[in-house]
A and B are shown apart, each in its own frame.
Chain A
């Protein structure tokens, strides 16, 4: 099932050889890629058009925040892109990871468990809740699972809001402890340690995900995505396989939650609404479902649009003295512009910016679909 991409018949150029060796040593390539990114990004933002937006330290700080969403998108990609399970309540697991860290390391609970083991604990607890939710519901077909996850996504923040004696309710938990490493204290003034930590988490996660994707389990996910019935009759235990995808996606979100909370030092129930689940889903779809690098790029692009570009449009148009545009207050229209951008991007590239090679072929042969229900439109002329 692995040899999907078409054999490429060009004569081997140095570039092609590099590509093929990269394909053979994928983990090393990924680590090297992240090293280049980690060093390159802080340098790129020193170049004028970017450096005029904000100073380097702010860019680095923003990259750590973007990393949280990249992590979320990569986790959701396992669920939606690889296993084909539509999850509309993914923010619930992000919330669980965040609150787990808040319970483990804040004055509110008067405990201070170090950050690094909490990364694992957060991931494990989120995965456990993913299993608990998934076990009874994963036998539901396609969109019904989507609805159940949507409901779960609404329930979890509501529980954190209403169980106020355990969570401080609507006030949220503040003063959460920042990480320390061998006596070195992370501070809010210096964004670099968080940045390095985030890049390390991303690189390791991505290596693991690529390994998983190519493993027996990864192929089983894709088999289920393509045709659940056929997968089952080929001897795949579909329930266990789907559960693992769900748990893995949840654990990645838990990880992201622990990191984000340690950096923000605050957590409240209002941070995990449907908007978050939806934004992450948009990142996955826009990046190109199933393609891990594509999804990561999609997350980066959407986060940058939302958190940097739209917020800075005013300064930008004033800086370049754009006629008319510099007199419009874009801050108030950013939400509208975001909506238009989503619609436009989807209309222009419905398969995402970087569709996985497997999916690209599917789309060109016949519009196959991630769920087991074939799209009603296939082969219909206008």
Chain B
């Protein structure tokens, strides 16, 4: 459900890296690639106070981007930095005069109940956002389970959702995906920026087996939707290649001691370890404690973008910070292109506004908001009221002919709402980088063709 988490973080880190190379001057807001209105959106504060008078569709001079993320309790770290990504773009767009003269605001919804993400609360939030006619599109949700409860509602109402984090295949792809959009099968209402589990897991398996030449592996997942999803697809691919999975464990995030797990696995002499999960859900601790077990000290550990968060040592909550010296010889996949063409100012802008590094999904949420803004910019030309503007945003965003330039690179979406050109970038840790604190360094990237293409 959340490959996206790491993806965003990864992307953010990627942005940092690419910033060093001095490329990228594109403004942060997305521009719709398929022609149409090209009102300057985003950055460029030079054009402040744009004198454009908003069209009749812009009731009250302000429309909203909804956010539907877990913002409280144990999920704060997931939701708040992600939501900040949206706030950043909204501030930039407003500084530049808004969308065709129409200012933006946010409608923030929190799907955590008692501190845990809750599909019931998510469904209620989606009803709330649908009922707020000025909401043009929604960034969220974070968790696939929440998405499965929300898509039927947004599909029925024709409100665009863009998830920065969902990765479970079932959310979009048949047969399950069809059931969620049964109200209007022809009008999908959901897109996502993250690379599905079915691509990220196997690419890590290929890397471990072919590039690193390891033929046996120990897999541990965190029992969450994302971890189990990438773990399963990794396992299937690794076996298909001819490798051996010596042991597969599932340890919930409430686990406080991973030593017994690794002790048991070490007895079977795996040549590598796949950490199927994210650092906040226990994989950081698993890496740190796993390394202390005899036989596990030096073998490669590979993780998806929940582990390869691309945060250098010293960054709060980052994998390398938590694992310390244990982070040596760790490899990771990130579901985004490394050499992004645009958005290189994202990290700097984010840090300047919020006083801290972006979270794992901040860049993806920013990209989602960029897509909504670009779609709205295009829809504004023909919209007559809020309802037609909302429908225009949905239709433009899901139209597979449109491409969007975002902080995650150029994106477009297939008939199920999945990214048409998924990228996987590979990273490894270098403990001498970042002044001895350790950092992720880029290894290579691969692009995949759209698995759903006809």
Task: Sort chain A's interface into a size bin.
Answer: 35 or more
Q: At the interface, yes or no: B348 with Cβ under 8 Å from chain A?
A: no
Question: Is there contact, CB below 8 Å, between A332 and B180?
Answer: no
Question: Is there contact, CB below 8 Å, between B144 and A171?
Answer: yes
Measured in the bound complex, the distance between the Cα atoms of B151 and A179 in whole Å is 18
Contact stretch, chosen from A28-36, A112-120, A259-267, A358-366: A259-267
Q: Which of A65, A271, A273, A306 has the most CB of B within 10 A?
A: A271
Nearest chain A CB to B370's CB is how many angstroms away?
24
- 0 or 1 for each of A341-382: is its CB under 8 Å from B? (1 = yes): 000000000000000000000000000000000000000000
Question: Is there contact, CB below 8 Å, between A306 and B131?
Answer: no
Sample (30) of A-B pairs whose CB atoms are under 8 Å apart: A57-B131, A58-B128, A107-B176, A107-B179, A164-B228, A170-B224, A170-B228, A171-B145, A171-B170, A172-B148, A174-B149, A175-B148, A188-B127, A188-B152, A189-B157, A264-B119, A264-B120, A264-B123, A264-B149, A268-B145, A268-B148, A270-B145, A271-B118, A271-B120, A275-B116, A279-B114, A306-B114, A307-B121, A331-B72, A334-B110
- 0 or 1 for each of B77-120: is its CB under 8 Å from A? (1 = yes): 00010000000000000000000000000001110111111111
Question: Is there contact, CB below 8 Å, between A335 and B73?
Answer: yes
Interface size on B, residues (CB 8 A): 46
Note all chain A residues with C-beta closer than 8 A to B183: 187-188
Q: Which of A170, A188, A275 contacts B115 (CB 8 A)?
A: A275
Q: At the interface, yes or no: B225 with Cβ under 8 Å from chain A?
A: yes
Smallest Cβ-Cβ distance to B115: which chain A residue = A335
Q: At the interface, yes or no: B153 with Cβ under 8 Å from chain A?
A: yes
Q: At the interface, yes or no: A142 with Cβ under 8 Å from chain B?
A: no
Q: At the interface, yes or no: B182 with Cβ under 8 Å from chain A?
A: yes
* Further 13 A-B residue pairs, CB within 8 A, beyond A188-B183, A264-B149, A270-B116: A57-B127, A107-B176, A107-B179, A170-B225, A170-B228, A172-B119, A175-B182, A188-B152, A266-B148, A268-B145, A275-B114, A307-B121, A334-B110
Question: Is there contact, CB below 8 Å, between A331 and B124?
Answer: no
Given contacts A170-B223, A266-B148, A331-B71, contact A61 B127 (CB under 8 A): yes
Q: At the interface, yes or no: A54 with Cβ under 8 Å from chain B?
A: yes
Question: Is there contact, CB below 8 Å, between A188 and B156?
Answer: yes
- 0 or 1 for each of B19-35: is its CB under 8 Å from A? (1 = yes): 00000000000000000
Nearest chain A CB to B395's CB is how many angstroms away?
19
Question: Is there contact, CB below 8 Å, between B225 and A171?
Answer: yes
- 0 or 1 for each of B146-168: is its CB under 8 Å from A? (1 = yes): 00110011001100000000001
Note all chain B residues with C-beta closer than 8 A to A189: 156-157
Q: Which of A42-98 contact B (CB under 8 A)?
A: 54-55, 57-58, 61-62, 65
Residues of B within 8 A of A (CB): 1, 71-73, 76, 80, 108-110, 112-121, 123-124, 127-128, 131, 144-145, 148-149, 152-153, 156-157, 168, 170, 175-176, 179-180, 182-183, 223-225, 228-229, 250
Measured in the bound complex, the distance between the Cα atoms of B250 and A169 in whole Å is 12
Nearest chain B CB to A333's CB is how many angstroms away?
8
Smallest Cβ-Cβ distance to B74: which chain A residue = A335
Question: Is there contact, CB below 8 Å, between A260 and B120?
Answer: yes
Measured in the bound complex, the distance between the Cα atoms of B173 and A314 in whole Å is 37
Note all chain B residues with C-beta closer than 8 A to A164: 228
Nearest chain B CB to A191's CB is how many angstroms away?
8
Note all chain B residues with C-beta closer than 8 A to A187: 156, 183
